[in-house]
A and B are shown apart, each in its own frame.
Chain A
Amino acid sequence: MTNQMPRKGRKAVGREEHIVIVGASAAGSTIAQTLRREGFAGALTVIGDEPHLPYDRPPLSKQGLLGTWPPDRTRFGASTAYAEQGIDLKLDARADRLDLDARQVYLATGEEVGYDRLVIATGVQPIQPFQQERVHVLRTLDDAVALRESLLQASAVVVIGAGFLGSETAAAARQLGCDVTLVDVAQAPMARQLGAEVGWMVADLHAANGVRMVGGTAVRAVHAGAVELADGSQLKADVVLVAVGSKPATAWLEGSGLPLGDGVLCDEAPEEVRAVGDVARWTSRRFGLSLRLEHRTNATEQAVWTARDLLAASKEPFDSIPYFWTDQYDAKIQVYGVIPPDARLVITQGSPAARRFVAQYRSGGRVTAVLGWNMPRETRRERASLTEI
């Protein structure tokens, strides 16, 4: 990284201060545990809106739906770990409102929690335009348990939206023996995330496993037992999953004066307020882009960086290389970097026909991303070919 402008006005957290973290998933639990591990001795409160102990989300759409892992296997550490670390974990407690001047968080339970430093890690919420019975979304552990129960009794399943979650769920439902149709406005699954070329490879993967892809169409409505497409045709559906994306969980921050715009704008937030994980938007100097990433590794990396920045005021801004993966059937697809819409795909190792390859995405004379399909070790090595700026 060449840009090392000192970051203005940052002051390390004092030992008497109270840090309040709103959000108890990967980012929230990681920042709390990192603060403790690296010596923060002040008061530490973590507020989560689910009744469950903090747990990991990526396995929900994989081992969770398939039933190969019991639900509590996704839990982060033992139930006693938080108390042992002196972390006040408030579960089943939704933050309703923030008062920046008073430095108070107001909970739905009526409780008020004052802070010296606030970390916002409330993540995202699924977009759900078809709210009704037997129409599922998948974000939480309870969602996954409910969806699995429905899938076990279903014959025809329609998945609306063929991004990460939709594609992974289609694969899991198929593996559970359901008759699965995947619907998206894009022609191929994951085309928005990985580009059309790799999207068609993912389409082939689903076709080979017996999932029907209905591309290039919107959904007009969901009826009892059927999904109606834009042209009026109907798909039989005992169970429907809506996986058409998510929006940052920032409703509780509206009117607080905190700068928002598809997430919490970290660069413009007051010094005592930070945001980490899916809800955080910041400017990446490496890519020259405003980024908000719904990636599991970003939650950890940003939480660890922010914990250290709170403890010792980092000189360099957060600027990691984004990474994400998806597991569908026997395919593991991994990406390091950022894929611009105009990027050109160049295969560098292996071959798509053999279902084992590494490829680079090139844009504007730079390598902006590396993708691997069932070649994890080689893909990680080729990460070094990403162009530094």
Chain B
Amino acid sequence: MDVTIDQEGCVAAGQCVLAAPDVFDQRDEDGVAILLQPPPADQYDATREAALLCPARAIHLSE
């Protein structure tokens, strides 16, 4: 699974971190989402949920 974050579109809501805390975090200064690691197989569902719940639809997955 490839994860791309549109950091310019990100609104720093943190929904991705709430959904998949092992895959996403937020930058300290502005809260913009960052990828901690490419999701391992056991994080696929959580990562899909994060992409689904993002209010800016800024997370793009290719599987």
Interface residues of chain A, those whose CB is within 8 Å of chain B, are: 30, 34, 37, 56, 58, 76-77, 296-297, 300-301, 304, 323, 325, 327, 332, 334, 375-377, 379-380, 383
What distance in Å separates the Cβ of A339 from its nearest Cβ neighbour in chain B? 18
B47: interface (CB < 8 Å): no
Q: Which among A37, A304, A334 is the interface contact of B13 at CB below 8 angstroms?
A: A334
Residues from 1 to 37 in B contacting A, C-beta threshold 8 Å: 11-15, 17-18, 25-28, 30-31
The distance in angstroms between the C-alpha atoms of A334 and B17, with both chains bound, is: 15
Please state if B53 and A377 are interface contacts (CB–CB under 8 Å). Answer: no
Please state if A325 and B56 are interface contacts (CB–CB under 8 Å). Answer: no
Main secondary structure on A side of the interface with B: helix
Please state if B15 and A377 are interface contacts (CB–CB under 8 Å). Answer: no
Please state if B26 and A56 are interface contacts (CB–CB under 8 Å). Answer: no
What distance in Å separates the Cβ of B35 from its nearest Cβ neighbour in chain A? 15
The distance in angstroms between the C-alpha atoms of A76 and B11, with both chains bound, is: 16
The distance in angstroms between the C-alpha atoms of A30 and B28, with both chains bound, is: 30
Which of A30, A76, A297 has the largest number of chain B CB atoms within 10 A? A297
Q: Which among A58, A296, A377 is the interface contact of B14 at CB below 8 angstroms?
A: A377
- Given the known A-B contacts A304-B52, A377-B28, are A297 and B57 also in contact in the complex, defined by CB atoms under 8 Å? no
Q: In the assembled complex, which residues on chain B have CB atoms less than 8 Å from the CB atom of A77? A: 57
Please state if A376 and B57 are interface contacts (CB–CB under 8 Å). Answer: no
Please state if B11 and A325 are interface contacts (CB–CB under 8 Å). Answer: yes
Please state if B53 and A300 are interface contacts (CB–CB under 8 Å). Answer: yes
Q: Which among B12, B13, B56 is the interface contact of A56 at CB below 8 angstroms?
A: B56
Question: What total of A-B pairs shows CB separation below 8 Å?
Answer: 56
Please state if B14 and A376 are interface contacts (CB–CB under 8 Å). Answer: yes
- Given the known A-B contacts A56-B56, A296-B55, A297-B55, are A377 and B31 also in contact in the complex, defined by CB atoms under 8 Å? yes
What distance in Å separates the Cβ of B28 from its nearest Cβ neighbour in chain A? 6
Q: Known pairs A297-B13, A297-B55, A376-B14. 18 more at Cβ < 8 A? A: A34-B52, A56-B56, A58-B55, A77-B57, A297-B53, A304-B52, A323-B15, A332-B30, A375-B31, A376-B26, A376-B31, A377-B25, A377-B28, A379-B14, A380-B13, A380-B26, A380-B31, A383-B18
Q: In the assembled complex, which residues on chain A have CB atoms less than 8 Å from the CB atom of B13? A: 297, 323, 325, 334, 376, 380
The distance in angstroms between the C-alpha atoms of A316 and B28, with both chains bound, is: 35
Q: Which among B26, B54, B55 is the interface contact of A377 at CB below 8 angstroms?
A: B26
Q: In the assembled complex, which residues on chain B have CB atoms less than 8 Å from the CB atom of A375? A: 31
Q: In the assembled complex, which residues on chain A have CB atoms less than 8 Å from the CB atom of B30? A: 332, 376
Q: In the assembled complex, which residues on chain A have CB atoms less than 8 Å from the CB atom of B15? A: 297, 323
Q: Which among A304, A334, A377, A380 is the interface contact of B18 at CB below 8 angstroms?
A: A380
Q: In the assembled complex, which residues on chain B have CB atoms less than 8 Å from the CB atom of A334? A: 12-13
Please state if B11 and A380 are interface contacts (CB–CB under 8 Å). Answer: no
Q: In the assembled complex, which residues on chain A have CB atoms less than 8 Å from the CB atom of B55? A: 58, 296-297, 300
Please state if B52 and A332 are interface contacts (CB–CB under 8 Å). Answer: no
Contact sample, A vs B, 25 pairs, CB 8 Å cutoff: A30-B52, A34-B52, A56-B56, A56-B57, A296-B55, A297-B13, A297-B53, A300-B52, A300-B53, A304-B52, A323-B13, A325-B11, A327-B11, A332-B12, A332-B31, A334-B12, A375-B31, A376-B12, A376-B14, A376-B30, A377-B27, A377-B31, A379-B14, A380-B13, A380-B31
